Amino acid sequence: IYLCGLAHGPKSLTESIAQASAAAARASTLLSKRQIELEPRIAQVVDENCDGCAYCIEPCPYKAVTLLEYMREGTVRKTVEVDESKCKGCGVCQATCPKKGIRIKGFTLDQLAAMVRATLEE
- Tell me the per-residue pLDDT of 19-46, one tens digit each, with 9 for 90 and over: 999 999 999 988 888 887 766 789 999 9
> Under CATH, which architecture does the 43-121 domain have?
2-Layer Sandwich (3.30)
Report percent pLDDT > 90 for the chain: 61
> Residue 29: what pLDDT?
87
pTM of the model as a whole? 0.60
- Domain ranges for the chain, please list them: 1-37, 43-121
Closest CA to 75 of 54, 56, 51: 51
Ramachandran angles phi, psi of 11, nearest 5°: -165, 170
